[in-house]
Structure 1
Amino acid sequence: MGRLALSYITYGEDVEIDAGEPGGWFMVHSIDRSSCEMRVGGRDLVAAPGMDVISSATLGLKMKWAAASAQLVLKVERPALEQHLASLLNDSARYPIEFLPDPATGAGRDPGYRRLLDFITAEAEQDDTFFRSQRGGRHLEETIMTMLLTGFPNNYSAALAAPVSPAAPRHVRLAEDFMAAHMGDAISVGDVAAAAGVSIRTLFEGFRHFRGTTPMAALRAMRLEAVRGELLVAAGRATSVTDIALKWGFINLGRFAEAYRKRYGELPSQTLRRVS
């Protein structure tokens, strides 16, 4: 289906798969029969019939499928999903998309997701379906990708839920690019304004109007996302919260831990323990 692929897969015996980091694909595993023990990034869960579990291009994936299991697998090309995210945000994606499966529910999906897949599989058998046309296929892609990005919790969920703002002016985008490139460095608001080619006052006004925040708060949010992304893939690595926090520019570790807790509902040490 263009930049998407849909497969129905069954296993006759117990099967273990270590897919590593898929790299170029996102996959949604819709369990139809039997069960599967899964480790997505650093999160362990048991996928039962009726659950839809999404895995990310940049997070490790391990699966233990029980005999006689069956699943419907949707694969989405990584560039396609990243481009669609940028169109929804009216801005470029500044870090990899990573979905956050809930061990209890799989991924907290939109209830309409499986109904949409059932419709697609039925239409796929029809020669005269609108979705075989280029225009129909593109509409189908966009519908599915929007449902994935808005229905499955991920590290862009908060940004996607925020009110849509007008396209940011060039100096705001330049400032964000500069901050993204120097997240681990000791940069000041003056450095950001200079990189954007505007005064500090103009910089603050641009972020207030188009981003609903301040430049340094935006930088802190970028750094927190970078820390969390690294913590979520830290399983088996000889690392510590302190090392990761310092790497991404957090000097006051107490303030960092509190900011992390407010944003993600748990301390960074809890995230690390959960994935180790």
Structure 2
Amino acid sequence: MTFSLSRFDQEFMDVSGFEISNFLKNKSFADHRLIQRSKGCPNASSLRYKAFGPLQIAEYTSGNATEVRIPSLDHAYHLQIVLSGDGVCAFDGHSLPMQAGDSIMMTPGTEYTLGYSSDCIQLSVRIPLEFLHQSAREFGYFTAGGPIRFLPRSVNVLNGGPIRHLLRDILEFDCTESSERAQLYYAKLLCNGILQSHESGICLNDRVNPSEHRHIAQIRNYVLDHLTEDIGIGDLVELCRISRKSLYNLFDKETGQTPSTYIRQLKLETIYTELSGDDRNIRNVTEVALKYGFTNLGRFSAQYREHIGELPSETLRRQSH
């Protein structure tokens, strides 16, 4: 199966690589610096560009050996795919060679250097940070604050995997004949496919049963956005614009819990994700507990063991080994 951006909004043919670079900068696609490493034809570059719901998609080639330096992605992830030719991606002390079909997920806050051969065709999908996080939550993933960090390894998306057919459909999608709702749906499915195929430090939540009720979903997203804050019942009442009694009745019916228990479990799940992740800067359980508002450490340990099934110190100890 081959990939090609066959339905697009704008196309540039036989232009310089710097014209394409400036176009993408003006679209806020990514801040970057383009360096041409070979002296070929000065106007051998091409670009196809498409806006798809919250996503931006660019398929481009420079016609020359090229290096792209990205100081730091700003509030967005990039799914970077080599369609033909070869390249290399360097970041955080890693250097990943990439061939046709290989893809990586580029994370906000990291500096990247991308190198491409003169015959290389690249496909890049820009995904807003908040949209990826929101999609992850809707599909049952827990994040531990900050950007989701993907592991430094490439994944071949042309040979198979959960995003192969979905990405092809998006590239062939006629946005003029579809609703924004349909584009949003496909974009969320792509995010879920990426989370399945590209390894990261987040995990699926299998302890809290998700509710389809709009107020529960609204509260869940609000709590996950304010995990380190002290969230009161009044905050939830104001958020949903319902009475305190209606709020308690809703939680009892939908979750079998009180709002406070629900909030605490979301925080405990997030702490579990953080303690069992690969962050080597975590010194002890106490600093993580205090970060999420658990000031009584004895009670915190008991609540954690009751919900997670082990002590927080055991989770951290297992991660360190």
Aligned to 1:35: 86
Aligned to 2:161: 111
Unaligned runs of 5+ in 1: 183-201, 232-240, 251-255, 268-276
Task: Mark the CA change 1:109 to 1:77 in structure 2 (over 3 Å): closer, same or farther.
Answer: farther
> Normalised by the size of structure 1, how large is the TM-score?
0.60
The answer to whether the 8 Å contact 1:36/1:66 transfers is yes
Aligned to 2:98: 47
> Normalised by the size of structure 2, how large is the TM-score?
0.52
| 2:139 match: secondary structure | helix
Aligned to 1:143: 189
After TM superposition, give the deviation of residue 258 of structure 1 in Å: 8.6
Aligned to 2:65: 14
After superposition, give the CA deviation of every residue in 1:75-115 in whole Å (9 maximum; x if it has no partner). 11112112222323387763321111325x46999614232
Letter in 1 for 2:283: A
Pick from 125, 129, 137: which aligns with 1:74? Answer: 125
After TM superposition, give the deviation of residue 32 of structure 1 in Å: 1.1
| More helix, by proportion | 1
Aligned to 2:75: 24
The answer to whether the 8 Å contact 2:68/2:115 transfers is yes
Question: What is the RMSD computed on CA atoms of the aligned residues?
Answer: 4.6
Pick from 261, 267, 274: which aligns with 1:222? Answer: 274
Aligned to 1:57: 108
| More strand, by proportion | 2
**2:55 aligned with 1:4, yes or no?**
yes
Inter-partner Cα distance in structure 2 for 1:173 and 1:141 = 18
* Bigger relative contact order, structure 1 or 2 (CA pairs below 8 A, ≥6 apart): 1
Q: Number of aligned pairs? A: 218
Percent identity over the alignment?
A: 15
Structure number with greater Rg is 2
Inter-partner Cα distance in structure 1 for 2:188 and 2:164 = 16
Inter-partner Cα distance in structure 2 for 1:137 and 1:80 = 13
Task: Mark the CA change 1:152 to 1:176 in structure 2 (over 3 Å): closer, same or farther.
Answer: closer
After superposition, give the CA deviation of every residue in 1:211-256 in whole Å (9 maximum; x if it has no partner). 7xx95x964642454xx34x5xxxxxxxxx6xx6369849xxxxx9
Task: Mark the CA change 1:117 to 1:88 in structure 2 (over 3 Å): closer, same or farther.
Answer: closer
Inter-partner Cα distance in structure 2 for 1:63 and 1:106 = 17
The answer to whether the 8 Å contact 2:285/2:313 transfers is no
Pick from 134, 140, 158: which aligns with 2:180? Answer: 134
After superposition, give the CA deviation of every residue in 1:8-38 in whole Å (9 maximum; x if it has no partner). 1112222122212202211111111111111
